[in-house]
Amino acid sequence: MAFRDYIITTVASLALTPLLLISIQLVGAQVMESTSYKIESDSVNFGGGLASSTNYSLESTLGEVGTGRASSTNYNLSAGYLQTTERFIAMSAPSDITMSPDIPGIAGGESNGSTTVTVTTDSAAGYQLTIRAASSPAMQKGVDSIADYVPTGAEPDFDFDTGATDSHFGYSPSGVDIASRFQDNTTACGTGGTDDAPLKCWDGLSISDVLISQGTGSNSPVGATTTIHFRVGVGGSVVQVAGVYVATTTLTAVAL
């Protein structure tokens, strides 16, 4: 099962100037592409090809040398055309984000930021994109923390609701392949509607993987884009300890 991980670090300070900082660790193979095509692998040989009948399908190549799989503690090598025919998946690198506006330490308020990722796969079954937090609550500063947003019901809240005594941190994904629980019918989320209104359907992060997008077929070479909106809300009656709060989040894309 092919997959890609990204780590997102969210930093918020009180009086708040939250920052969303993206750190990327990515290893991938070079591909040839243009606006119209993408070649994930190629082969220079003197024979072979695809053959099939009602009972079997065979793909072969003749003339390649030094093929096979090799690995060490530092690398994995798949040499040869047929070694590279596994499902391909890639995720674009999101940009660093500064959440704004600043949240005053006394009056309270809300601060927003977002990041965008594009998942590309040639898997006929599609892909899944999940998100999880490294800690609970996700946003912490030593012994202090900002609580994860808690919806009023089983599904995400249509609106991000910050009461006078609330101090919380939530997220809302949007995109062409958004998971059903984040879709809305213009008034509620997770109701089977297909609408994807921006900045609607808010949830709190979890230390378990939560599905936010799912494609149902190959989308190569264009890919499918998901935007993840983050919001910190602090009520006017909250005594939130000032300082820098950090939340670390992992995005994982899996080819199905």
* Residue-wise pLDDT tens digits, 99-142: 787 777 777 888 888 889 999 988 888 999 999 898 999 988 88
Q: What is the mean pLDDT of residues 17-39?
A: 50
Q: H/E element holding 235?
A: none
Cα→Cα distances 192→130, 142, 200, 229, Å = 20, 41, 15, 21
Q: Give the burial class of 142: count Cβ atoms within 10 A of its Cβ; 0-12 exposed, 13-18 middle, 19 or more buried.
A: exposed
Integer Cα distance of 167 and 234 in angstroms: 4
pLDDT of 24 > 50? The answer is no
The confidence score (pLDDT) of residue 43 equals 65
Q: Give the burial class of 156: count Cβ atoms within 10 A of its Cβ; 0-12 exposed, 13-18 middle, 19 or more buried.
A: buried
* Residue-wise pLDDT tens digits, 150-164: 999 999 999 999 999
Q: How crowded is residue 35: how many other Cβ atoms within 10 Å of its Cβ?
A: 7
Domain map of the chain by residue range?
3-27+89-255
Integer Cα distance of 197 and 227 in angstroms: 12
